[in-house]
Amino acid sequence: MGSGQDKMAPPRGVAADMAQENSAFSPGPEEPPGGLPRTLAARPEPREPPERPPRRGRQRYVEKDGKCNVQQGNVRETYRYLTDIFTTLVDLQWRLSLLFFVLAYALTWLFFGAIWWLIAYGRGDLEHLEDTTWTPCVNNLNGFVAAFLFSIETETTIGYGHRVITDQCPEGIALLLLQAILGSMVNAFMVGCMFVKISQPNKRAATLVFSSHAVVSLRDGRLCLMFRVGDLRSSHIVEASIRAKLIRSRQTLEGEFIPLHQTDLSVGFDTGDDRLFLVSPLVISHEIDASSPFWEASRRALERDDFEIVVILEGMVEATGMTCQARSSYLVDEVLWGHRFMSVLSLEDGFYEVDYASFHETFEVPTPSCSARELAEAAARLDAHLYWSIPSRLDEKVEEEGAGEGPGWGNEGDKEKNGRLPPPESESKV
C-alpha cells in the first residue's frame, strides 16, 4: 500500500490523456520520438514569455544578481561595528577600503615622525646641528621632514643608512621598539584586510548563473515548479547544495500581519536531490504536493498572487576551499506556467558540450491550468471510476457458468464443481 500522498498523485499517463481532452490544457510541441535527447532530435522553437496584464510593481527582496535589497536604518548602537573592525573594513566599498589603507600608513608615519621630531627638539639636537662634538638622538635629523623620512625608513625597514639612531638616546631606543612592533601589526592588519577583500568567495558567485525565469509544468504526471542553475567555470563547486524560499506576506488567524514571511520550498531535502554535482546545468524541481504552498494554486490564482521565490546555491570553491553562496529570485511575472526549459547538453565526439546560448530559453508544453490539488482529485476520481466500471475476469467467468446451467443447479457433482451452493428454497421459488 502506498502513502496517502501517492494515492492523491495522478498516475503516469493520466495527465497526458487529460491533456488531449481537457480544454484547460495549453497546447505545446510534442516530445521527440524514440526518447532521443532534444538536442539530438528536432529542437522546438523557443518562444518569448507570454505577455501578462500590467500589475503593480513589487519591490524585490533579493535582486537578480543576489544582492539583498535591505538597508539597516536607525542603528543607534554603532559601536558594535567597531567590536568587529576587521569585518567592517572588509565590508567597505573598494574606494573606502583603499582610502583607509592609505590613511592607515600615512597617519602612522606622520604620528611617529612627529614624535621623533619632538625628541630631537626636546634634547636640543636641532640647536646643535653644526656642533660636531654633540651626540644627537638620530644622526642627520635636521627638521620635521627628516624626522618623517626616518619614521618611514624605520617602519618599512628600508634602512638607507644616512639617518641612524645612536646609543646615547634611551627614549629613542624605546620609541624605535614601539614603532617596529606597531608597524608590524599595521602591516599584518591592512595586508590581511586587502587579501581577504580580494579573495572574497562572493566573486566566485559571479560565474554561477540562474535561469531568468522559473517554469511550471508536468514532470512524471505531477505539477512541478522548476528553475535552472549552471556553473560557467571548469573548476567545480564542491558539496554544492540548493535551497528555495517563498517570500510572501501573510496574516495569522489572530490578525497579526507578518511581512515578508519565509516558507521553505522542498527541492529534494528528504531524498538528497538538493545536494548537487554541478558539472553541467541542472534543472531544480519543486514538486507541488500537499505540503507545498502552491498546492491549491491554479494558473489564474498564481498570476493574481504576489510573492517572490528566493533560490540559494551554496558550496565550497574547489580552488580555495572557501564557502561560496550565490542567490537569485523570481517574481510572479517571472514564473511561466506551461513551459519547459530547452535542453542545453549535447553529445559531441568524445565529450559533452553545454550550449549556454539556450540556457534561459523555454518552450511551451501541455500543462493543466488547474491546481495540483484539483489534478490529483481528478486522477483519484478517474481511478475509482475504472475500478468500479470494469469487472474482473473471475466475476465474468462465474456469471457465464451460472447462465449456462439455466434455472436448475444440477446434481451434487455440479455443486462441488462450481464451488457454489444453490439458493435457499424460498428464494428459488421467488
Is residue 355 located within the same domain as residue 212? yes
pTM of this structure: 0.67
Is residue 215 located within the same domain as residue 189? no
- 278-297 mean pLDDT: 94
Question: Is the pLDDT reported for residue 130 higher than 90?
Answer: no
Is residue 212 located within the same domain as residue 125? no
Question: Is the pLDDT reported for residue 55 higher than 60?
Answer: no
The per-residue DSSP string of 337-382 comes to ETEEEPP-EEE-SSSEEE-GGGTT-EEE--EESS-HHHHHHHHHHH
Question: Does some domain include residue 53?
Answer: no
Is residue 150 located within the same domain as residue 241? no
Q: What is the residue type of 428?
A: S
- C-alpha to C-alpha distances, 25 to 19, 242, 295, 368, nearest whole angstrom: 5, 31, 18, 4
Strand 214-219 versus strand 335-337 pairing type: parallel
**If residue 388 lies in a helix (H) or strand (E), which one and from where to where?**
helix 372-389
Question: What is the CATH classification number for the domain harbouring 228?
Answer: 2.60.40.1400
Is residue 131 located within the same domain as residue 109? yes
For residue 162, the model assigns a pLDDT of: 84
Is residue 224 located within the same domain as residue 170? no
Task: Please write the tens of the pLDDT for every residue from 215-252.
Answer: 999 999 899 999 999 999 988 899 999 999 999 999 99
Is residue 103 located within the same domain as residue 182? yes
Is residue 187 located within the same domain as residue 254? no
Question: Does some domain include residue 397?
Answer: no
Is residue 320 located within the same domain as residue 220? yes
Question: Does some domain include residue 153?
Answer: yes
Question: Is the pLDDT reported for residue 31 higher than 50?
Answer: no
CB contact at 8 A, 292 and 263: no
Question: Does some domain include residue 75?
Answer: no
Q: How many domains does the chain have?
A: 2
- Percent of the residues in the chain that have a pLDDT greater than 70, as a whole number: 76
Q: pLDDT category, 6, cuts 50, 70, 90?
A: very low
Question: Does some domain include residue 426?
Answer: no
Question: Does some domain include residue 51?
Answer: no
Quote the CA–CA distance of 334 and 249 in Å, as a whole number.
Answer: 19
- Percent of the residues in the chain that have a pLDDT greater than 90, as a whole number: 47
Quote the CA–CA distance of 137 and 147 in Å, as a whole number.
Answer: 11
Half-sphere exposure of 3 (CA within 13 A, CB side): 5
Domain that holds residue 216: 204-373
Question: What is the CATH classification number for the domain harbouring 141?
Answer: 1.10.287.70
Question: Does some domain include residue 382?
Answer: no
Q: pLDDT category, 44, cuts 50, 70, 90?
A: low
Quote the CA–CA distance of 230 and 250 in Å, as a whole number.
Answer: 33
Quote the CA–CA distance of 373 and 21 in Å, as a whole number.
Answer: 19
Q: What is the DSSP letter of 161?
A: S
CB contact at 8 A, 144 and 113: yes
Task: Please write the tens of the pLDDT for every residue from 81-97.
Answer: 778 888 888 888 889 99
For residue 245, the model assigns a pLDDT of: 96
Q: What is the DSSP letter of 221?
A: T
Tell me the β-bridge partners of 216.
Answer: 225, 337
CB contact at 8 A, 359 and 232: no
Q: Cβ contacts of residue 377 below 8 Å, gap of 6+?
A: 8
Quote the CA–CA distance of 49 and 46 in Å, as a whole number.
Answer: 9
